[in-house]
Amino acid sequence: MNKTYQKKHELWLGVLFASFAINDENIKSRLYDFSQIAFRHMKWLGSDILFTGDNYNYDRTLQLVEHSSVFEVLEALKEQIKETQQHYPTSILGERLKTDDTYLLEYIEQLLDELKNDQIVTAFNKKREWNNLDQASIDALTLFLFEESYKEYELILVYAYMQARTQNKLHFDVFQDLVDESHFHLKSFGNMMAKLGILALPRELHEMTYIVKDLEKFVHDGIKEEEAAKEMCRELSSAIKDEQLSKFFDFINYQESYHIELMKKLL
């Protein structure tokens, strides 16, 4: 079952990063919705694994291929979905996973039937251009996005791992809020990376990142990490010569402030 979980984890990332890579807003939005369904599949699979007394991890082997057209992205995603379906259990949950994926495959086939959908993908072109930003601002933004996209990916998985193992309703609710917030941040940062032409998968998590044996220390360390993220947002907002981007990073900064308050509830 852990192999199934790994395949679902990788498919979540495959659908998610396909949504980041594609510029068409309608396709991007639909694929992101499907990625959220895939993440719920991970949650359900994880619960089933724990219920049987087994365990799972966040190992992965997925590599992000730098495609140059929408159809290339969709064809690769189609093959990944079909390969993942072979690992689903013969159960009610397995049937739900399979039928959800079948509908996603049908959506992809609809897109492939329309030649107008085969647009250029610029998410990997490494141009690093953003409106009229100067090079110093581009460099600062690049560094921020690489660091923070990993942090948000890490937090989604860590909080989900801990949520699956708690019987405390307050903890469960706080973990859910933090997971939801991190999904939004990862989506924002992933789309920004794609716009800059530097889209890349976050690095893999080491198991010591998510196997938490001291919750209080974990929360204190998490608060420090959120405070560091707030400072990066403040610095970026001040350094970037783009009013809209500056306001966006102020907005993220304020959200990080509330994350700290959520984490204090865990204490």
Distance CA 265, CA 134 (A): 41
pLDDT band at residue 70 under the 50/70/90 scheme: very high
Model confidence at 176: pLDDT above 90: yes
71-87: average pLDDT: 97
pLDDT digits (tens, 9 = 90+) for 130-151: 988 889 889 999 999 999 999 9
For residues 62 and 237, which has the higher predicted lDDT (pLDDT)? 62
Q: Which two tokens stand for residue 250?
A: 């102020």
| CATH dotted code for 123-267 | 1.20.1260.10
To the nearest 10 degrees (0 to 180), the angle between helices 135-163 and 215-239 is 160
What are the structural domain ranges in the chain?
1-121, 123-267
Are 1-121 and 123-267 in the same CATH fold? yes
Asked if 163 contacts 244 with a C-beta cutoff of 8 angstroms, the reply is no
| CATH dotted code for 1-121 | 1.20.1260.10
